[in-house]
Chain A
């Protein structure tokens, strides 16, 4: 059974205080690891796909990295508008996605 565990469950940062979110996974035949952002009352919005260990993707203040067991979402000098829940998901050989529970990020000005 595929499993995705995200930590921490919640993270409070001051504006400009860089940090990382963790996504640990076990999956049968990794077809990709995906990061989504979800704002309160909204549906998740796609951020990144990572396909193999060592791969990195960047978007503004966000950088996602991937190893064989986990992925990190690094947030550099965050702003209040980066506050959201960040979801990680893995795709398996059957093309199905399994999501983690998410990390709720709060950035205070």
Chain B
């Protein structure tokens, strides 16, 4: 049972470079999310998608973009990385509009130098 797969697991990136974090789920969930987790700040929502073809902005969307071309994939792109984007990024999904039960990936640790 794979659930949610994120790649890469870890990446060191030079400031100004473009980076895409990949997220794939095999549960056929409609809703998908991207969070960043920083010490002391908890999980903060970056972008979300309630269904394929739609996306929305979360609490901290600046500097990030997403797309949802199909049900399974939800990539997160940093167009021009900055050091403040150093964080652990989690992709999550849930089956229904509101169950509260999010399924998370293992995370992608990104360091921007």
> A42 contacts which of B48, B100, B107 (Cβ < 8 Å)?
B107
Contacts of A31 in B (CB 8 A): 98, 100
Interface assignment of A34: CB less than 8 Å from any CB of chain B: yes
CB distance from B64 to the nearest CB of A (A): 17
Residues of A contacting B: mostly: strand
Most buried by A among B43, B45, B105, B106: B43
- CB closest residue in chain B, given A45: B104
The residue of chain A having its C-beta at the shortest distance from the C-beta of B91 within the complex is: A43
B1-57 contacts to A (CB < 8 Å): 4, 35, 40-45, 48
| Interface size counted on chain A using CB atoms at 8 A | 22
The stretch of A11-19, A58-66, A68-76, A92-100 in contact with B is: A92-100
- The answer to whether B98 and A91 touch across the interface, beta carbons within 8 angstroms, is yes
Chain A residue, CB-CB nearest to B6 = A43
- Provide the bound-state CA to CA distance between A41 and B105, in Å: 11
Residue in A34, A45, A101 whose Cβ sees the most chain B Cβ within 10 Å: A101
Question: Looking at the complex, which one of B40, B97, B107 makes contact with A95 (CB distance below 8 Å)?
Answer: B97
Which residues of the partner chain A approach B74 to less than 8 Å between Cβ atoms?
A: none
Q: Which 5 residue pairs spanning A and B have beta carbons closest together? A: A43-B104, A99-B43, A101-B42, A34-B100, A95-B98
